[in-house]
Structure 1
Amino acid sequence: MEGELKNLIMVWLIVLASLCYTYFIASKIPKGKLRLLSLIPVFFLFTILPLSLTTVLPTGITAFFMTWLANFKLILFSFGLGPLSSDPPKSLPLFISIACFPIKIKQNDKYPSHQNTQKHINSSPILKAPPKLSLNFPTKVLLFALLVAAIDYKHVHPTIVLGSYCCLLYFLVDIVLGLCNAIVRATLGIELELPSNEPYFSTSLQDFWGRRWNLMVTNVLRYTIYKPIRSISETVLVKQQKQKWAPLPAVLVTFMVSGLMHELIFFYVTRVNPMWEVTCFFVLHGVCLVVELWVKNVLLARGCWLHWAVAGPLTIGFVVVTANWLFLPPLVRNGADIKAIEECKVVLKLLKDKMLWTLKSL
């Protein structure tokens, strides 16, 4: 564990040095191909850094933050786009925070919030939004701790275990991203958007992937993959077909890229060559989302759609079933799930001991 901690510190020191190079040197190069070329060493470093780690959670988080999100943000930055680009330039601490962490500054006009879309849904007489049931950060931590402590992957039916893994994954992602938000908010004093928006109340796949689950990834993929592919599609299609068909290949390619990036993260975590189940999971959801959009357009044109009380369970049920079928098996098959849970137990025990020590010292 001590050796892993040293490796983790070294990894993040390299990250900080790379981002300082980006801020002070690469940013002075004119945007475009030359700046992109100047960042190739950074892309390379961010891609190989997770291989320096061996524990599941630090490896997965580092790969998610740096290999995926930071690299994608830097690609946008190469062309003067994305959250890292601004005029005047951002301060160094803010630049590093946005590059390192999956955060999004509130009320950024260039990257509009999903909240406007949500208001449209709420105002629609057909697409009624479900009621809110916000779970605050301490509640999520408590539920996560209870699940970690209660889970018994040896004596419980595998289906129940996999179902509980879906809950654990939601809490883990939201807790990690929530901690990032809290750190940046406390140090820089800026307002940030929430990392997710009650995904358990999703009423469609479009709602789940586009407006509720892991919104930081959604935002990055929207500007690195979806919009460029849609723009290309619009140049190919005739004018009458643009509005109808241009989004479809963009959706499919976006989900495919997301699947490939998840495969890469899973490879870092398991160090086993992929069997492409995770990519199939995202491609399946991309295809189903395209079908859903078509069906929704047909039904809404006739003034009807499923009530949220029906659409919600169907959506979440589909996500959970397909996750148990395609998304989780690579982790379970290679024992990464057990390692991750044990690592969580170690962290929770340290926190518990720290709290008890603090209470005794009062």
Structure 2
Amino acid sequence: MEEELKNFTKVWISAIISISYCYYLSTRIKSGVLRLLSVLPVCVLFLLLPLFFSSVHFTGSIAFFISWLANFKLILFAFDKGPLSPLPPNLSLFISFTCFPINNTRENPKPKNHLPKWVFAIKVVIFDAFLYFYCNCKHYKQTPPPIVLWCLHVLHIYLEVEIILMVVVKVLVFVFLGCDIEPHSNEPYLATSLQDFWGRRWNLMVPAILRPAVYTPIRRVCERKLNSDLAMFLGYLTTFIVSGAIHELMCFYLTRELPTGEVTLFFVLNGVCTAAEVAVKKKFAQRLWRMSPMVSRLLTVGFVVVTSGWLFFPPLIRKGVIERLAKEAFLVNDLRGLIRSGFLIDLY
């Protein structure tokens, strides 16, 4: 752990120096291809940074915030788009907006249907019980049926990101910068459609970046020669393919094995189904039978759980990444004590 902390410090120093270079040099270059070329060396460096860690949490957090979000923000910044446009007034804000999910154009609103704090307290209790179960039942994989295991894995990833990663980041940003971060999710288990799940409820930072970086330009290009429905379909499909490729890269960081394509296929499948769902609702909006919200939520979440258990989780399970995630979180006793104390719940 001592070596991991040293690497963590070195990586963040490298990231800060690189982002400072972008602020002082790249901003002097006119937006466009030349500015993009000036930031590409930084993007390449950011792709290498997660390889310095062996811890799943350190690897995953650096891969997500630096290799993934920061890289896309810098690419958008090269064309004066995205969260870094307009340019923040000073270097510290530029670094903060690049590395963390902070929007510099408006206050960060709470997501719609924001649930009360006691719901978060329940999530903490479930996650704590889940870690105990995971780390003390060595043979649990042989007993539950596959659908139960898939539900456990989905629940684990959701709670892991919601509590351990996003709340810790939220506390650090609040303490050191005095501001709030954009919400990571909006109760994805309440999604009533795939469009609702992927676009408005799960991992909200990702669609906020992919929409201007991939979906909008692809749809505009396609609409020049194709009808709007087909352009929309290609926009959705391309966006999910890019997201799949990024998740495939993150899977490589965690497993250190060559991609199998399963993760990309998971996103392609969900992209096709999401685009088809949108097209059907658009064309037959007046004639469709309105499904009960409870049934639509069950079908939506069930589809995501089944497809993720079939395609998304197998590469991670084969290398024991899910188990390592649970064990690492279980060993962070101070963090678990902080959660129990209610401090994080108050900030949430």
Does TM-score exceed 0.5, indicating one fold? yes
2:317 equivalent in structure 1: 332
1:341 is displaced (CA, Å) by 1.4
User: Hey, what does 1:172 align to over in structure 2?
Assistant: 160
Q: How is 1:279-294 mapped onto 2 (pairs within 5 angstroms)?
A: 279-294=264-279
Q: Superposition pairs for residues 156-167 of structure 1, below 5 Å?
A: 156-157=143-144, 159=146, 160-167=148-155
Query: Contact 2:51 / 2:253 at 8 angstroms: preserved in 1?
Result: yes
Question: When the two structures are aligned, how many residues end up with a matched partner?
Answer: 334
Asked if residue 212 in structure 1 is aligned to residue 210 in structure 2, the reply is no
Distance 1:193 1:352 in 2: 23
Residues 9-51 of structure 1 deviation map (CA, whole Å, 9 limit, x = unaligned): 1111111111111112222222111111111220111011111
CA distance, structure 2, for counterparts of residue 303 and residue 355 of structure 1: 45
Q: Write the distance in 2 (CA, Å) between the matches of 1:318 and 1:208.
A: 11
Query: 1:209: Cα distance to partner?
Result: 0.2
Q: Distance in 2 between matches of 1:334 and 1:51?
A: 16
Quick check: 1:65–1:100 contact (8 Å CA) kept in 2?
Answer: yes
TM-score, normalising length: structure 2 = 0.88
Query: What's the counterpart of residue 258 of structure 1?
Result: 243
8 Å CA contact 2:150, 2:306 repeated in 1:
no
Question: Which runs of 5 or more structure 1 residues have no equivalent in the other structure?
Answer: 119-130, 358-362
1-structure distance, mates of 2:219, 2:125: 42
Contact 2:50–2:63 (Cα < 8 Å) also in 1:
yes
Cα deviation, residue 252, structure 1:
0.1
Rate the CA distance shift 1:158–1:58 in 2: closer, same or farther, 3 A.
Answer: farther
Structure 1 position 90 matched with structure 2 position 86: no
Q: CA 1:51–1:158 in structure 2 vs 1: closer, same or farther (change >3 Å)?
A: farther
C-alpha change, 1:174 and 1:150, in structure 2 (3 Å) is same
3-state SS, counterpart of residue 273 of structure 2 = helix
Matched residue, 1:140: 123
SS in 2 for 1:39: helix
Residue equivalent to 2:282: 297
* In structure 1, C-alpha distance between the alignment counterparts of 2:167 and 2:207, rounded to whole Å: 16
Cα deviation per residue 1:289-325 (whole Å; 9 max; x = unaligned)? 1121122224422263212111010000000011111
Assess, with a 3 A threshold, how the Cα gap between structure 1 residues 7 and 177 changes in structure 2: closer, same or farther: same
- Find the counterpart in structure 1 of residue 344 from structure 2: none
Question: Using a 3 Å threshold, how does the CA distance of structure 1 residues 144 and 94 change in structure 2: closer, same or farther?
Answer: farther
Please give the alpha-carbon distance, in whole angstroms, between the structure 2 residues aligned to 1:182 and 1:301: 46
Distance 1:337 1:355, change over 3 A: closer
- Matched-pair contact (CA < 8 Å) for 1:259–1:280: yes
Give the corresponding residue for 1:351. 335
Secondary structure at the counterpart of residue 285 of structure 2: helix
Q: Distance in 1 between matches of 2:213 and 2:269?
A: 21
- Contact 2:281/2:288 (<8 A) preserved: no
Alpha-carbon displacement from aligned partner over 1:173-223 (angstroms, at most 9, x marks no partner): 222223323432443334543221110100000000000001001100111
Q: d(CA) in 2 for partners of 1:13 and 1:51?
A: 16
Q: Does the aligned pair in 1 maintain the 2:32–2:78 contact within 8 Å?
A: yes
Query: What is aligned with 1:102?
Result: 101
Equivalent positions of 1:315-326 (< 5 A) are 315-326=300-311
Distance in 1, Cα, partners of 2:274 & 2:236: 8
- Check 1:39–1:164 CA distance in 2 against 1; reply closer, same or farther (3 A cut): same
CA distance in 1, matches of 2:192, 2:284: 15
Cα contact 2:247–2:264 (8 A) shared by 1: yes
The aligned residue for residue 200 of structure 1 is 189
Deviates more, 1:26-35 or 1:250-259: 26-35
Equivalent residue in structure 2 for 1:224, among 213, 218, 221: 213
Q: Is the 8 A contact 1:153 1:161 kept in 2?
A: no
Q: Structure 1 residues 275, 318: CA separation in 2 closer, same or farther (over 3 Å shift)?
A: same
Residue in 2 aligned with 1:272? 257
Residue type at the aligned position of 2:249: L
SS at match of 1:80: coil
Letter in 2 for 1:171: L
Please state if 1:308 is matched with 2:293: yes
Question: What do residues 254-288 of structure 1 show as CA deviations (whole Å, max 9, x unaligned)?
Answer: 00000000000010110011111000000000011
Q: How much identity, in percent, do the aligned residues show?
A: 44
In structure 2, relative to structure 1, the CA distance for the partners of 1:353 and 1:107 (3 Å cut) is: closer
Distance 2:340 2:212 in 1: 46
- Contact 1:60 1:266 survives alignment (8 Å): no
CA contact (8 A) 1:26 1:35 kept: yes
How far apart, in 2, do the equivalents of 1:268 and 1:191 lie?
28
State the Cα distance separating 1:133 from its structure 2 match: 4.6
For residues 18-167 of structure 1, what are the structure 2 equivalents within 5 Å?
Answer: 18-86=18-86, 89-104=88-103, 107=106, 133-134=115-116, 137-151=120-134, 152=137, 154-155=139-140, 156-157=143-144, 159=146, 160-167=148-155
How many angstroms does 1:94 deviate by?
Answer: 2.0
What is the root-mean-square deviation in Å for CA atoms of aligned residues? 2.5
Give the Cα separation in 2 of the matches to 1:90 and 1:182.
24
Aligned pair partner of 1:183 in 153, 172, 177: 172
| 8 Å CA contact 2:102, 2:180 repeated in 1 | no
Q: Distance in 1 between matches of 2:153 and 2:70?
A: 27
Aligned residues of 1:106 and 1:191 also touching (Cα < 8 A): no
Alpha-carbon distance in structure 2 between the residues aligned to 1:153 and 1:284: 33
